[in-house]
A = this chain, B = another copy of it.
């Protein structure tokens, strides 16, 4: 069963992350996390005819690694939670259809990994499932042409812009009282500070991250010092600074404990990614390639994983709307 703490926080009993997998593309293989991914797919098409089909392959591969680590087959999974950035989440639906797993489609933009982890924990806690999986992905070539410019156009990018990660991450969750455990979580609310610059997603999402992290600290009566790492995804360099400012105005200094998946995945000095990485696959692949293994090795015992999502579309942007954002938080411990 789940216990509610304070106004928003959920406390889980015995929800374990028993498997995880990550796959990334060529550019990500040239970054600092290169050696951590389970697999690098160097071909942007992943041997398929379209970039969209390629993104589906990334999801399939990440899920297969997660299943393998959990020593599970697809038929052992009672529910899968999946989503991505593409219109109607086609990377997930086409990518996962052959697994034949009862499927819950999500749309949380880049917060999808955290949303999937939390809903998996809720499902396991309720008895609805004995094993769940979650998976998400992004692909530079599918996202950029959908959200911004045709790939061939080669438009100049602003300093605040982020580079969509080509990658995927997946977890398998089960009832378990040892190893990696989801101990607490907070489902975010939609926050809109009226940012409307499509080239500054980090700035648009930082208020949602601040709102979620602050509410979690309030509910749990904890502070940054209680955690080994406060990870956000994917605010990038610009959004992370906005987050520090917003938290400081509430008297909380995050700097010493904070890192952001969008800042970690690329070498921002040499890889021309401006503010950093973004996309559902960014925080998912960083979590599943780097953070969870580092937790198993003892580098971190208790972390907050806060995935942020921008909930606009290119239509809403063209209509002059602001960018509403959301952040879901997962407290992961290694027991």
Confirm or deny: A122 has a beta carbon within 8 angstroms of a beta carbon on chain B.
Answer: yes
> Who on chain B is nearest to A1 by CB?
B127
A87: contacting residue among B83, B313, B326, CB under 8 A:
B313
Verify A93–B319 contact, CB threshold 8 A.
no
Interface string of A1-36 (1 = CB under 8 A from B): 111100010100000000000000000000000000
B189 in contact with A100 (CB, 8 Å): yes
A227 is an interface residue with CB less than 8 A from chain B = no
Within 8 A of B (CB), among A87-120: 87-90, 93-94, 96-97, 100-109, 115, 119
Chain B contacts of A2 at CB under 8 A?
126-128
**CB-based contact A313/B88 at 8 Å:** yes
- A123 at the A/B interface (Cβ < 8 Å)? yes
- Mask, A316-335, CB within 8 Å of B = 1, is 10010100101000000000
A187 to B313, Cβ gap below 8 A? no
Q: Give the distance in Å from the alpha carbon of A104 to the alpha carbon of B109 in the complex.
A: 11
Q: How large is the interface on A (under 10, 10 to 19, 20 to 34, 35 or more residues)?
A: 35 or more
Given A85-B88, A105-B108, list of 11 further CB < 8 A pairs?
A: A2-B127, A4-B128, A52-B316, A83-B105, A87-B88, A90-B316, A94-B311, A101-B189, A103-B326, A119-B119, A122-B128
A96 touches B190 (CB 8 A): yes
From residue 194 to 245 of chain A, which have CB atoms closer than 8 A to chain B? none
Ranked nearest first, the 3 interchain pairs of A and B with the lowest CB-CB distance are A93-B311, A126-B126, A88-B313
